[in-house]
Amino acid sequence: MLGASVGVLGTVGTAVLTYLAARKQADDQGRVTHRSALRAERRDAYLAFLQAHESIDGALNVINIASVPEIAVLDRAIELVDRGAHEIYVSQSRVELAGPESVCGAALEAWGAALNLRSFLDEVRAGLVSPGQYDGQCEARIDEVERCKATFTAAARSVLVGLA
């Protein structure tokens, strides 16, 4: 009878240990799956945000830093910046949902830099920026846009690498 009791206890013990191991494995697999899905969601949102910058990049390529551009060139740059700022605004909502806060803040600053560039181009178009001030102010706006985009990219990369 003692032998049978030991056998039953051994079988029950083995069953309990097997159950706990299976449960831990399922929990671990769930965490891995969740992390993978979160990483993919964030990667897609961040990529869409960076792609929204293409119109802004196009505007930066149109603008001549050395001298005030002609009205037609300014109009084209303003059109590109308007489109880019709108696309950034739209894609920013996906970034806000995907998070985290560090990337959301960088996205907001990048959108603000696009709006600042748009305001500057409006001032140039209205003749409020003298030719002597144009190159310095233009370079400052371009630097702001590029810096904010680089800050967003670095924040996004840091998050994605941390989820790998």
pTM: 0.77
Q: Are 131 and 67 in contact (CB under 8 A)?
A: yes
In angstroms, rounded to a whole number, what is the distance separating the alpha carbons of residues 135 and 141? 10
Q: What is the mean pLDDT of residues 65-88?
A: 92
Q: Where are the domains of the chain?
A: 36-162
User: Could you report the per-residue pLDDT of 46-56, keeping only the tens digit for each?
Assistant: 999 999 999 99
User: Could you report the per-residue pLDDT of 15-50, keeping only the tens digit for each?
Assistant: 555 655 556 565 556 566 667 788 889 999 999 999
Look at residues 101, 102, 111, 95 and name the one whose alpha carbon lies nearest to residue 145. Answer: 111
In angstroms, rounded to a whole number, what is the distance separating the alpha carbons of residues 59 and 73? 9
Using DSSP's 3-state secondary structure scheme, residue 65 falls into coil
In angstroms, rounded to a whole number, what is the distance separating the alpha carbons of residues 41 and 81? 27
Q: Which of 25-29, 103-107, 155-159 is predicted least confidently?
A: 25-29
Q: What is the mean pLDDT of residues 111-137?
A: 95
In angstroms, rounded to a whole number, what is the distance separating the alpha carbons of residues 27 and 21? 10
Q: Does domain 36-162 have CATH number 1.20.120?
A: yes
